[in-house]
Every structure is written in C-alpha cells, then in structure tokens.
Amino acid sequence: MKNFVVKTIANSAALAVAIWLIDDITLPGNSTPRKVLTLILVALVFGLVNFLVKPIVKLLTLPLFILTLGLITLVVNALMLLLTSWLADKLNLSFHVEGFWTAVVGGLIISIVSWAMHMVLPDKD
C-alpha cells in the first residue's frame, strides 16, 4: 500500500512539473484544492495506464525497442500521456495534452521527474 501511495505522489509531482513547464498541457480549475484533487485523480489514471497498457505496448513494440536501442520509449511514453488525457476527458477530469509533440516533451519531463522522485521517496512496503 505504501508503494502505491509513493508512486501516486511521484506521478502527481511529475505531472505538476510538466503542467508548469509546458503551456499545451493544461489543468484548468477554479481553486487550488480542486486542482490538487484533479491532479491526484489524473495521477491515478496515469498510473493505471502505465500499469495495464504500457507493458502490452512495450511487448508489441519489442522489435522497435531493439532496433532503436530504446529510443521508441519516448514515443510509448507520449502515447501513454495522450491516452491519459483522453481517459481524463472521458472521466470529466480537466486535464488535456494538446498534440503528439507536446506529449513527447511532456513524457520526457514526467520520466525525469518521476525518476528523481523515486530516488528521493522511499518505496519499500
């Protein structure tokens, strides 16, 4: 359970940094508590997408991983961010990623910040 909370906090922080740095990744809202709640819910959706969908996509694109020496990871991360944006829209969460290249840069930022957060936060149960 503690691991789940740590990963959600890391995802929330990473998404917040991406929203802060990139104008085309938006999280509109009226108040700060509303934005924080929406950010946590989007982080949960993002975590679910990464847990359920990403391994399947990585398995299906394994030859491309080998061929590109892992650079296809940027594209897979962008697709996971776009899928999260689409699911957030379907769940009436105010989170939106505008375009593929925005998602690529956002995915890169989220990966770096998540890695840094996992280095700082404990992850043992």
What is the Cα–Cα distance from 98 to 104, expressed in whole angstroms? 11
pLDDT score of 6? 81
pLDDT score of 57? 92
Which positions of the chain have pLDDT values less than 50?
Answer: none
- 69-99: pLDDT as tens digits: 989 999 999 999 999 999 999 999 989 999 9
pTM across the whole model: 0.89
Contact of 106 with 19, CB cutoff 8 Å: no
38: left (phi over 0), alpha (psi -120 to 50) or beta: alpha
66 Cβ contact partners less than 8 Å away, ≥ 6 residues apart = none
Residue ranges of alpha helices (H) inside the chain are 2-21, 32-52, 54-60, 62-67, 72-90, 100-120
